[in-house]
Structure 1
Amino acid sequence: MSTQRPTIEESSKFNLITSIWIVPFIAFIIAGWLAYQYFAELGPEIEIVFPENAGLHAGQSQIKYRNVPIGTVKKIVLQEEGEGVTVIARMEKSATPYLNTHAKFWIVKPVVGISGVSGLETLISGTYIDMYSAKGGETKNFFHGLTQAYRYTEDGMYFQLSAPSSYNVKAGTPVYFKNIEAGQVEHVNISLDGQGVEFVVFINKLYVPYVHRSSKFWVTSAVEMSLAHGRLDVNVAPVTHLVQGGIEFSSTGEDASNTVPEKFVFRLYKNANLAEGQVIGKGGDFINTFEILTEDSIAKLKKGALVQYEGYEVGRVKDIRLSYNMQSHKILGQILVDIDLSSFASKHDDVTSCQQKFYQALEEGLSAKISSADPFTGTLFVDLVFDTNTTKRSIIHGEHFVRLPSVPNDTRGIIDGVEKLVASLNKVVDESAEPLQIIVADLQKTVNNLHAMTEAKNFKTMPDEMNKAMKELTTTLRTAKKVLKGYDSNSLLTHQISQTLKEVTETSQEMEEFLKLMNRKPNSLIFGDK
């Protein structure tokens, strides 16, 4: 019996199904598919530049849009110039349509400020980057981050204010309407010309309809006092106002349906009393700058002083520049004033028509006069008056601005007038000076000023002591005038002038003490010097 061995036939063909390489091949296919899936879903890489890193961590901090994570911070590097940091982040594919010119990025972190505490959720989740955007616009992958949260325009509107000083208003200061918080101050910057401060406030959508051209903004006071009809009213602001400060704005309802122009600038007043003054005009583009040249003393004229016409505020003093005049040996004052030209035109005139009508008024005699706003201290303001002695004249163009013709100031502070009279009378007594016409003229001006002041209605409401002192001063000056006009002999004149001088001096000293008291304790008229 023979044994037959099976023959084994060797095959040179490669069979993938039975090959040992099938396992790594399948693994390679799976890995390739997973890689494809990963890169297909992978979003773009973007760079965001911030002034500084405010708590972000590479590999941890997220980028959110509408509180949904859409990206992760991968790397944080310092810029080559050292002026900021660049945050490199990987975004999800779903965020690609929003990475365009509309995109805004800012860092959300815990902040404790005058407006309260914000970003408390970051104490648990960590600091993150928030984002706002909208579809459309050119696609971008490089952005500049914001230093504070972006305000959605559909949630409210921005308005611009200006003032000579910051009045201690800072970013985050609340804005109130009828003691209800309606917005807040977003930015505080020095104006481009360096002459003032500009504020950008955000008003919530609910209160935007109450802001219109006639609205006024002012800094809220901690304590407000008023005395009317013999009744003292003291209003103390809430504790939150005392700590945070605030800005209040008014709304009369006029022009409420008309939107405020885009470049319209509101004036921020120092307090409610200044804001309540009678102001006419539309403001905004209707405000033009003019210059006034005068050799009258303007030492007591301050920046921000009123420009008035017929008792109404039509502008403000913008700047004051002084120079020495070699010919007259006097100080020449150049006063720059901002005037609302719409105050001198009809309601519906445009900027060009208002300017034409104002220039016509200048040709017909409208002039600037430096007048006293305070009869005691001589504080000055610019009063626009018509010079009846002026015929038709041409518009004068200065180096940069149109020039307002000026008329001399024929008034001065009451105390300044009394002091000058005392000095003149001393000279008469000491030197027996003959010409008395100058003294008589000074007496006449001072008596007229005092008479006008004491006959005013608001003067009659002043405290009895002050009223009595001023009336005594008026009587004394009238007596002095009669004495000088009735001058017959030196002996009689000297005796009478000496007596009058003594009374004037005593009254002047009383007034000086009174002014010192007012400067030291302004509320002494109400509470006394206790």
Structure 2
Amino acid sequence: MQVVWLVPLVAVLIGGWLAVKAILEQGPTVTISFETGEGLDAGKTKLKFKNVDIGVVKSVTLSGDHRKVIATAELAKDATGLLVDDTRFWVVRPRISGGTVSGIGTLLSGSFIGMDVGASTKSRRDYTGLESPPVIATGVPGRQFVLKGDDMGSLDVGSPIYYRRLQVGHVTSYQLDANGKGVTMNIFIDAPYDKYVKEDTRFWHASGIDVSLDTSGVKVNTESLVSILIGGLAFQTPDETADQPEANANTDFALFRERAEAMAQHDRIVDEYVFNFRQSVRGLTVGAPVDFLGIVVGEVAAIHTRFDPATRSFSIPVEIKLFPERFTSHYASGGAGGRVTNDRRQLAQWLVDHGMRAQLRTGNLLTGQLYVALDFFPNAPKAKMDWSANPPEFPTVPGGLQSLQDSVTTLLAKLNKIPFEGIGNDAHQTLRDADALLKQLDADVAPQATQTLAAAKAALDSANNMLQPDSAVVQNTGDAMKELARTAAAFRTLADYLERHPEALIRGKQEDKK
């Protein structure tokens, strides 16, 4: 009989031991809330950490307000140390995001809940699941930074980040600013490339293709084929600030639209002026450069219109931002260099006194784009800076085309003053007088001139006949010339005799003695 009662007692002890063992070996239970229950199946959906099963979903229910899905999961006992305050959970399912494809294996095995352990030491059992997997797992070496831009462009979570065309990071998250005027993005740069992010590093959108045309031809720049298709970011530090220290984690940076804008010189001192033009500014846009001898020293900030009631005329005031630090001089062999002057008014008035004026010029003949040129015009009328205006007004001169138009208008005005009708009438009267004179010459002078010409011809014919070789005049002239020659010979003989016998002039010629 005692043995019979011993069997139930042993069974109770074994059951109690099994119950205690089950309680002692039971792992923690956690609740995770999701936006949707897609991929969650009670009793089947596993929890995995580093692709190792550590638990299973026991139930899937709606929250009290019916806005969330609550998944209750039971984990293995040895997973208790993984449940800390910043541990993250998400449903792993097939996804395409930021140019990456993940969760392909779940097409066959089914979805599961992924897990990433945080660095906190505080225990936790209630979590809010992520709607998308984290781009960067906890513990990956590198640093996170913050970018602020006007819009997202074609970026998404997981979009690549390039440094000198090497992929060195990803976009981890983004959100719209509270004022709705921009977006803030969190990015992660992998080590060791994060050391190249300096305090003056510039970030820009690297999406699409950058095509430029200059004197060397057409240039096409892009980071990679992936960035063309899905978007991306790139960064670089200007050479002159490359020696700066590394930026701290979570440092804020501005996000520029393109590389040229990002790498442009960022000036610490900005002076504002107004250029008041009295000609069309078609082709001039906000952001157009202000050029001084081929160097960009400013940009157009705003374009307005102004009506002057006194003169009842319109003008176009153009607000510009001038960077006075760019008016510098550098000398060779370590010589000194610097600004012309540190006083803003003194610098501006000095330039104006030496003939500097603002002028609109054509920057591109194909597109008709204009820019503002600062140049010296020695013959420009004297002018002074108007410091009473805010911003102060800088004197201008008409553009090249406007000057040509004014010159043509002045020339036409002068031509209009010439009495072309009176000149034409006088010329017509002169022609009539000339015609009458010709008629008179033909009637009176021409016959007499004909007779005179006939008489002259007859005289010439007679003279021609007299000069013929067989004419009497020619023969007589020949005889006369012969006689003249004999006379000249006789004179020479006489002269010779007198030279030998000068006494013959007194005594006479003596007879030759025999």
TM category, shorter: 0.5 to 0.7
Which deviations, in whole Å up to 9, do the C-alpha atoms of 1:493-516 show, x marking residues without a partner? 9xxxxxxxxxxxxxxxxxxxxxxx
Q: Are the structure 2 counterparts of residues 134 and 478 from structure 1 closer, same or farther at C-alpha, using a change threshold of 3 Å?
A: closer
Match of 2:490 in 1: none
How many angstroms does 1:236 deviate by? 6.6
RMSD: 5.2
Match of 1:277 in 2: 264
1:407 counterpart (377, 382, 392): 392
Q: Greater shift after overlay, 206-215 or 34-43?
A: 206-215
The CA distance in 2 between the partners of 1:216 and 1:279, in whole Å, is: 11
The CA distance in 2 between the partners of 1:313 and 1:20, in whole Å, is: 107
The CA distance in 1 between the partners of 2:60 and 2:419, in whole Å, is: 96
The CA distance in 2 between the partners of 1:405 and 1:39, in whole Å, is: 81
Determine if the alignment matches structure 1 residue 88 to structure 2 residue 72.
yes
Q: Are the structure 2 counterparts of residues 126 and 321 from structure 1 closer, same or farther at C-alpha, using a change threshold of 3 Å?
A: farther
Q: Map of 1:94-493 to 2, 5 A cutoff?
A: 94-134=78-118, 137-150=121-134, 151=136, 152-220=138-206, 222-227=208-213, 230-234=216-220, 238-252=224-238, 254-255=241-242, 258-262=245-249, 264-280=251-267, 305=287, 405-408=390-393, 444-447=397-400, 476-477=404-405, 479-480=407-408, 483=411, 490=417
The CA distance in 1 between the partners of 2:155 and 2:281, in whole Å, is: 30
Determine if the alignment matches structure 1 residue 21 to structure 2 residue 5.
yes
CA contact (8 A) 2:165 2:224 kept: no
Q: Are the structure 2 counterparts of residues 374 and 156 from structure 1 closer, same or farther at C-alpha, using a change threshold of 3 Å?
A: farther
Amino acid at match of 1:406: P
SS at 1:74 equivalent: strand
Amino acid at match of 2:251: F
CA contact (8 A) 2:163 2:236 kept: yes
Which deviations, in whole Å up to 9, do the C-alpha atoms of 1:432-470 show, x marking residues without a partner? xxxxxxxxxxxx5234xx6xxxxxxxxxxxxxxxxxxxx
The CA distance in 2 between the partners of 1:53 and 1:238, in whole Å, is: 38
CA contact (8 A) 2:146 2:252 kept: yes
SS at 2:192 equivalent: helix
SS at 1:157 equivalent: strand
1:37 counterpart (21, 29, 36): 21
CA contact (8 A) 1:176 1:248 kept: yes
Q: Are the structure 2 counterparts of residues 229 and 57 from structure 1 closer, same or farther at C-alpha, using a change threshold of 3 Å?
A: same
SS at 1:147 equivalent: coil
CA contact (8 A) 1:222 1:242 kept: yes
CA contact (8 A) 2:143 2:249 kept: no
Scaled by the length of structure 2, the TM-score of the pair is 0.57
The CA distance in 2 between the partners of 1:364 and 1:169, in whole Å, is: 48
How many angstroms does 1:321 deviate by? 13
Q: Are the structure 2 counterparts of residues 308 and 379 from structure 1 closer, same or farther at C-alpha, using a change threshold of 3 Å?
A: closer
Q: Are the structure 2 counterparts of residues 141 and 363 from structure 1 closer, same or farther at C-alpha, using a change threshold of 3 Å?
A: farther
CA contact (8 A) 1:98 1:135 kept: no
How many angstroms does 1:121 deviate by? 3.0
Counting matched residue pairs gives 378
How many angstroms does 1:116 deviate by? 2.4
The CA distance in 2 between the partners of 1:126 and 1:237, in whole Å, is: 37
User: If you compute each CA radius of gyration, which structure gives the higher value, 1 or 2?
Assistant: 2
The CA distance in 1 between the partners of 2:299 and 2:194, in whole Å, is: 26
Q: Are the structure 2 counterparts of residues 277 and 73 from structure 1 closer, same or farther at C-alpha, using a change threshold of 3 Å?
A: same
The CA distance in 2 between the partners of 1:313 and 1:29, in whole Å, is: 92
How many angstroms does 1:251 deviate by? 3.8
Q: Which runs of 5+ in 2 are unaligned?
A: 327-341, 349-357, 375-383, 421-514
CA contact (8 A) 1:160 1:199 kept: yes
The CA distance in 1 between the partners of 2:289 and 2:66, in whole Å, is: 49
SS at 2:398 equivalent: helix
Determine if the alignment matches structure 1 residue 52 to structure 2 residue 36.
yes
How many angstroms does 1:35 deviate by? 0.7
Match of 1:454 in 2: none
Match of 1:5 in 2: none
CA contact (8 A) 2:92 2:114 kept: yes
CA contact (8 A) 1:211 1:256 kept: no
